[in-house]
Structure 1
Amino acid sequence: MALLELTDVTRSVRLPDDRMLHVLRGVTLTVDAGEHVSVVGRSGTGKSTLLNILGLLDAPTTGSYVLDGIPIGRLSARARSRRRGEDFGFVFQQFNLLPGRTALENVAAPLMYARGRAFWRRMRLAEEMLGRVGLGDRVDTMPDKLSGGEQQRVAIARALVRRPRVILADEPTGALDVETGAEVMGLLDDIAAQTDAALIAITHDLSVAARAQRRYRLADGVLTPLVEAPVGHRTEWVGDVPTAVAP
């Protein structure tokens, strides 16, 4: 059984002039536990809308979304909120760290809503996760004293401290230089592999997308497989289309 499955999902919104804007058009996607999938597309193609639906932040207009065998449409708002908190970890381009809190306090924040041992052990769990992302010596550091790469690592630790089953990464390297971005993606790959979590990366960066086991292109709300470049070629954006380019 797939961990998550979208079937013919659409998302439409009504504009102020009463016209309908069709953001997603019949998206079908299946992702298994432990799988790394990437979705590439330019700005305005519906990538963030797709991520919001996957992460239970939004609902499809039509179509179905099944998570771990459970149709999401049958869940109450409270149940969806609980599943979102327990099953999903979000990593964004903007780190969104709490400015007046240490790295440790930032990572422990999601566990304030945990139950049982996870709540009472939240500081210990946060410290362990910071150690896993290479920041065990920065637990008491404020965000403004951390580099961009370190801030992103704190954000990753915060997203993963509850051991989510699905990691949703929205342009996770967009605010980083190339070398640091590669390190961050390597870290996400490693932790996802260790915990058997599905990793779904939404990006416009073709080098980030290339790390995935399966790659898709989202254009005009339509999701299609991204064809791999032939050996010796590289993939680059040509206009709005990822294209194989000879060296």
Structure 2
Amino acid sequence: MSQLELTGVGREVRLPDGGVLPILTGVDLAVDAGEHVAVVGRSGSGKSTLLNVLGLLDSPTSGAYLLDGQDTARLRGRRRARLRGECFGFVFQQFNLLPRRTAVENVAAPLLYARGRAFLTRRRTAAEMLDRVGLGARLDTIPEKLSGGEQQRVAIARALVRRPRVVLADEPTGALDVETGRAVMALLAEATAEQGAALITITHDPAIAALADRQLRLAAGRLTAGVPA
């Protein structure tokens, strides 16, 4: 059974004039645990909408989305939010770090919603994750004192700290130079593989997509195999 599976998924929005704008159309996607899949598409192709659907931020308007065999259409309110926090880690182009918090405080932030031992040991767990991404000596450094690559590594550590089953990376190298971007992607792929998590990278860059196990193309809301040359 796949970690997640979309079957015929569509997403549309209603316009002020009463019309309907399709964003995703008939999307089929199955991703296994530990697999790295890249989705390439230009601006306006529906990449962000696809990521929002996958991350339980939006719901499909048609089709089915199964997560670990569970129909996500049946999820509501707090249950949906709890599953999102437990199952998914998010990495964005803009690092979205808390500017006045140290690296270890940023990484520990998702654990503030944990319970029991996970909550009580959150700083130690965050420190261990930062050490894992090569920032063990930067625990008490605030974001503005870190390079772009270091900030993205903090963001990766934050995404992984709750050991999610799926990591969604939205243009994770867009704010980085080419060399740093490749290093960050290698780290992200290695870290998710070690945890057995599926990694889905949304990107406009075919070179970044080529680092994945499988490459898909999203154009005009339709998902197909392969990427443009």
Please, what TM-score do these two structures have when normalized by structure 2?
0.99
Deviates more, 1:191-200 or 1:74-83: 74-83
Shift of the alpha carbon at 1:78?
A: 1.3
1:212 aligns with 2:212: yes
- Structure 2, unmatched stretches of 5+, are none
Report the counterpart of residue 165 of structure 1 in structure 2: 165
Does residue 106 of structure 2 align to residue 106 of structure 1?
A: yes
Question: Aligned with 2:96: secondary structure?
Answer: coil
Question: What is the aligned partner in structure 2 of residue 67 from structure 1?
Answer: 67
Tell me the distance in 2 between the aligned counterparts of 1:87 and 1:117.
Answer: 19
Task: Report the alpha carbon displacement of residue 15 of structure 1 after superposing the two structures with TM.
Answer: 1.4
Q: Helix, strand or coil for the counterpart of 1:169? A: strand
Who is 1:58 aligned against? 58
The CA distance in 2 between the partners of 1:108 and 1:27, in whole Å, is 35
Cα distance in 2 for partners of 1:80, 1:70 equals 12
How far apart are 1:115 and its partner, in Å?
1.1
Query: Which of structure 1's runs of 4+ aligned residues deviate more than 6 A?
Result: none
Which one has more relative contact order, counting CA pairs under 8 Å at least 6 apart? Answer: 2
The alignment of Structure 1 onto Structure 2 pairs a total of residues equal to: 229
**TM superposition shift of 1:96:** 0.5
Structure 1 CA distance for aligned equivalents of residues 134 and 15 of structure 2: 46
Matches within 5 A, 1:47-196: 47-196=47-196
Shift, 1:157, TM fit: 0.5
Displacement of 1:17: 2.2
Structure 1 position 31, deviation (Å): 0.4
**The residue matched to 1:202 in structure 2 has which SS?**
strand
Q: What residue number does 2:221 align with?
A: 221
Q: Which position in structure 1 is the counterpart of 2:39?
A: 39
Counterparts of 1:121 and 1:205 in 2: how far apart (Å)?
Answer: 38
The answer to whether the aligner puts 1:24 opposite 2:20 as a matched pair is no
Q: SS of the residue aligned with 1:168?
A: strand
Max Rg structure:
1
Give TM-score, length-normalised by structure 1.
Answer: 0.91
Give 2:93's aligned amino acid: Q
Q: Indicate the percent of aligned positions where both proteins have the same amino acid.
A: 71
CA RMSD, aligned part only?
0.7
* CA shift for structure 1 position 18: 1.9
The Cα shift of 1:57 comes to: 0.5
Q: Deviations over 1:13-41 (max 9, x none)?
A: 01122221100001000000000100000
- Separation (CA, whole Å) in 1 of partners of 2:117 and 2:67: 26
